[in-house]
Amino acid sequence: MSRQINHDFRSFARRSLLSPRRAMARGLSRNLAMVLLVMVFSAEAGIGLLVFHDLSRSYSEMQRMYDRSVRGLRQIGEMQYQSQETRRSTLYALTTNDANLQVGYCDMSRAADRGVKKGISEYLAQASAPQELAAGRVLAADWNDYLKVRDDVLGRILEASTKEAVEVDLAYGVPKFEKVSQDLEAVKQLYDRQATQELVTVAKFSQRALIRLIAVLGFCLLFGSLAVLAIQRAQLQSERHIAKLQMDFVAAVSHELRTPVATIFSAAENIRDGLPQQREKFMEQGAVITHYASQLNELVDQVLSFTTTAEGKPWHAVGALAVSEIVETALDNASGLLKEAGIGVEKKIDPGLPMVAGDLGSLSRCLQNLIVNAAKYGGADRWIGLVAEIDDSGVGPQVSIRVEDHGIGICDRELPFVFDPFFRSAQVVDAQIRGTGLGLAIAKRSAEAFGGTLSVESQIGIGSVFTLRLPAFSRAQETNLDAGIPAENLEVRQ
């Protein structure tokens, strides 16, 4: 039983947290968590794209830089080699007197020279920066100057003027070639500088990508933590609310138990002490004991009913019942309260109503709860309307039983929760009207157990109308059979 009550506390807590103020708070918490998660996801996706963009850009930049640097350095290296080869071949020609070998060295020198010229042309063609163009032009000019000396030296070698060739080479060739070497070094340095600048750019991209990556991780951590915090907070609120409901229920039940028990105890003490001398007084004490014992019985019945009802499942044998029988039984059961409160019931039962399916005890208690509710909150009019009629609004034939009052009414925001177990409106609690918050929940469960429905319409200050709709027997019987109720549990009561 306690497990069932605990379960209902939790389900009600979940629903009741959706009550206007709490629903808003819970919605905010839950939405906040969702919003945070969506933000985290969006931020991850957005910054992830940026990081990807940066990384791919730095990759392409690095590839471009590598291509350019490698090509450039290879070009410079080739030019350096070919220039050395030009000079080397020229010097080789000095080492022999064989004119054929000398001519061969001349050819080698000129071939290498063409390689250098080609390299310079390519460099100038691809150079874009002013420094590059200037360096290329200086290199071309110095190379041409050196070639003039080279040609002179080669000519003198071939003319057998070796000594003069050496003198010319030392006087002009060496400095000119040195200048060419410096020019090539300058071009190489330009490449190095450019590569360094591009490396800085790539490093900048990589650094930016890294910072963004750290940012996204930090962002995810922060908002993930906030989301978890919000979810935990919502769960904590839910747990607190459940605890509060349990406390409220225990307090209400305790109060409901203590009052009659104390009264019965007091009356019993009076009788024990022989205080009621007269027969009328004695009977009066007995009536008090009977009344409060009945109240206790009713409370225990209510709690037991609640715990033994499971949503949508009948717990008694289903039989065909006359609507009038249900109404009369309910009115009989509530007669004491109605009489005590001085409430008049205006009853209107259509003749020829079909039989309905159900258990008399359950359905009469269901209706009785509605009547008691109307009596409790019916207001100063002390009037309850009770109408039973054919209802064509459903799929099949059904009977509706309306319980109306001119009471305080229920506000719109509380209407969705009135059938929740343990729900008691703030207005009722403030008015210190006793109750456990189980009556309407039990009524709704009873109606639904037999394929019926229970609904409410209400306006503050005007009153409430509770409508119990029960399917006609034939349909209900089929429903119950479909629900697996043994055939022997079905009986027809006239």
Partner 1 sequence: MRAQFGRLASRVYLLNGKAALTNQLTIRSMAVLIVVAGLCSSRSTRAEFSPANRSHPGVSLAIVVNLANPINNLSSDELRSLFLERKSHWPNGRRIAVAMLDYQYPERRSALRQIYHMDEDAFQEYFIKAIFRGDVFAAPRTLASPEMLRKFVFNAPGAIGYLRSSDLDDTVKVVKIDGRLPDDKNYSLQIDEPAEE
| Interface contacts to partner 1, rule CB under 8 A | 97-100, 102-103, 106-107, 151, 154-156, 158-161
CB of 106 to partner 1, least distance (A): 5
CB of 166 to partner 1, least distance (A): 15
- The residues near 110 (Cβ < 8 Å, ≥ 6 apart) are none
CB of 67 to partner 1, least distance (A): 40
Query: Which residue's CB is nearer to partner 1, number 114 or number 204?
Result: 114
CB of 85 to partner 1, least distance (A): 17
Query: Which residue's CB is nearer to partner 1, number 106 or number 202?
Result: 106
CB of 160 to partner 1, least distance (A): 4
At 353, the amino acid letter reads L
How much helix, strand and coil, in percent to the nearest 5, is found in the chain? 75, 10, 15
Q: 432: how many CB neighbours lie within 10 A of its CB?
A: 7
Query: Which residue's CB is nearer to partner 1, number 148 or number 204?
Result: 148
List the one residue out of 404, 443, 401, 402 whose CA is nearest residue 421: 443
CB of 107 to partner 1, least distance (A): 7
Please say whether the beta carbons of 341 and 375 come within 8 A.
yes
- The residues near 170 (Cβ < 8 Å, ≥ 6 apart) are none
Query: Which residue's CB is nearer to partner 1, number 89 or number 467?
Result: 89
Residue 54, burial from CB neighbour count under 10 angstroms (0-12, 13-18, 19+) = buried
Please say whether the beta carbons of 470 and 401 come within 8 A.
yes
For every residue of 13-81, DSSP letters joined together read HHHHTTSHHHHHHHHHHHHHHHHHHHHHHHHHHHHHHHHHHHHHHHHHHHHHHHHHHHHHHHHHHHHHH
Query: Which residue's CB is nearer to partner 1, number 154 or number 388?
Result: 154
Query: Which residue's CB is nearer to partner 1, number 154 or number 440?
Result: 154
List the one residue out of 329, 311, 334 whose CA is nearest residue 493: 329
CB of 115 to partner 1, least distance (A): 18
Query: Which residue's CB is nearer to partner 1, number 107 or number 340?
Result: 107
Classify residue 315 by its DSSP letter: -
CB of 95 to partner 1, least distance (A): 14
Angle at 368 between CA 362 and CA 369, to 5 degrees: 90
Q: How far is CA 33 from the centre of its chain?
A: 6
Query: Which residue's CB is nearer to partner 1, number 90 or number 400?
Result: 90
